[in-house]
Amino acid sequence: MSRRPEYQAPPDIFYNEDEARKYTKNTRMIEIQARMSERALELLALPEDVPCYLLDLGCGSGLSGTVLEEDGHYWVGCDISRAMLSVAKEREIETGDLILSDLGEGLPFKPGSFDGAISISAIQWLCNQDKKDHRPAKRLYTFFSTLYAVLSRGSRAVFQFYPENGAQVELITQQAMKAGFTGGIVVDFPNSTKAKKMYLVLFCGGQNQTLPKALGTDSAEVSEEEDDEPAHIKVLSEKDKWKQRREKMRRARGKPLKGSKEWIITKKERRRRQGREVRPDNKYTGRKRSGRF
């Protein structure tokens, strides 16, 4: 039997309460989801220092929404799994709303409501025929045509997905273009079996746009460290590369880094404005332990 979850059961059945909690507590899964969400957010090319209203399609337990929140955006998450949405609600998301929705039946929003959309590991589920009346091409077209309608002109939608084969890629992109989108596929780290990730970047009207450059296409990605000795080259792990990229993006936007004292105080202030009970600030807020305990 295939290990791909979309072939084991329909999404609303596969992601039951046990699976939803297991998925959300898996630290490796959380880290991977965060990195892919950050990359999708980067590919959206949103204006800097401007909060946007975004869609998270197949939002699950809100892991991607947390990344959107940390970047200062407001969002709406859609998912077909009640269990996943229940876990998301328990996680006390702050700037997001949740909707139980089958993407294959279309999106129930007003035209031009959103500044962009992301989706992590969800779109390939629409290629399945889970019920007798399901027609993958029709469901994909219904989804993409309603998505095109609810996005503002000139915005983007970015889908990270795991296609089974080239036929699925063609099916998905064909229906997206039929619905009015332009764009194409961006493949990060194409020569790596573990780091390779595929993103469908779609443009919703507006002026002509060009596809972003994929990561990992250069012969070597290295970092120079300053030292008394001549600079030497250090090969970075994929995790370190993403951390450096994220920190660089946040510094460029003038936003505090996640986990820093400034980030903690900003989050607490946001919760106070929402009327939530928050511990008072003191000299120990955000202080790091020495590690000697």
Tokens of 229: 């000795």
Closest CA to 169 of 225, 128, 124: 124
Whether 93 is in a domain gets the answer: yes
Find the CATH number of the domain harbouring 179: 3.40.50.150
Q: What's the rounded Cα separation, in Å, for the pair 157 and 199?
A: 10
- 251, pLDDT greater than 70: no
User: What's the average model confidence in pLDDT over 183-205?
Assistant: 92
Q: pLDDT tens digits, residue range 46-102?
A: 988 889 999 999 998 888 999 998 888 999 999 999 988 988 888 777 778 999 999
Alpha-carbon distance 110 to 239, whole Å? 39
For the record, the structure tokens of 114 come out as 């959103």
The total number of structural domains in the chain stands at: 1
Answer with the residue of higher pLDDT: 162 or 283: 162
**Residue span of the structural domain in which 178 resides:** 5-208
| pLDDT value at residue 227 | 35
**27 inside domain:** yes
- The pTM for the full model equals 0.74
Asked whether residue 249 is assigned to any structural domain, the reply reads no
Q: Flag whether 244 is in a domain.
A: no
User: Is the residue at 245 inside a domain?
Assistant: no
Residue 71 located in a structural domain? yes
Asked if residue 151 belongs to a domain, the reply is: yes
125 within some domain = yes
* 8 Å CB contact between 158 and 114: no
Please report the pLDDT score of residue 268 as a whole number: 74
- Mean pLDDT of all residues in the chain? 81
